[in-house]
Amino acid sequence: MANNVYDVAYNLETAVKESDEFKNLQTLYKEVFADETTKNMFENFRNIQLELQQKQMSGQEITQEEVEQAQKTVAVVQQNEAIAKLMEAEQRMSMMVSELNKIIMKPLEELYSDVDSAN
């Protein structure tokens, strides 16, 4: 291969930064953080989300009360148009990254499936 795989990765980084999905996400992120109330609401939502993820990853049980609090926070946050748009843009960006990951991992998946079928 003429290109080093890391050079290709850095080119991919540039392509992601130049993508419409990323530019839209960046614009919406700036809009949310430009308003103090919206910013605080969004940060509170993110903190709750991170706490629950950390708890889950460490094997701790998430209580029904925590689930209900998170659901209420999501409901409030989604009523804010700027945050709702940002969350939609984050989801589109996440889908793009997931698709890129599938493409990148394809050679390994093929390798392992060939090894499994050879046995």
pLDDT digits (tens, 9 = 90+) for 70-106: 899 989 999 999 999 999 999 999 999 999 999 999 9
Q: Say if residue 4's pLDDT is above 70.
A: yes
Q: Where are the alpha helices (DSSP H) in the chain?
A: 5-18, 20-34, 36-57, 64-78, 81-118
Q: Say if residue 118's pLDDT is above 70.
A: no
Q: Write the burial class of residue 21 (CB in 10 Å: 0-12 exposed, 13-18 middle, 19+ buried).
A: middle
pTM attached to this predicted model? 0.81
pLDDT at 11: 95
Query: Could you say which of 1.20.1500.10, 1.10.1370.30, 3.30.465.10, 1.10.8.50 is the CATH number of the domain covering 5-118?
Result: 1.20.1500.10
| 114 — pLDDT class (breaks 50, 70, 90) | confident
Residues 32 and 39: beta-carbon distance below 8 Å: yes
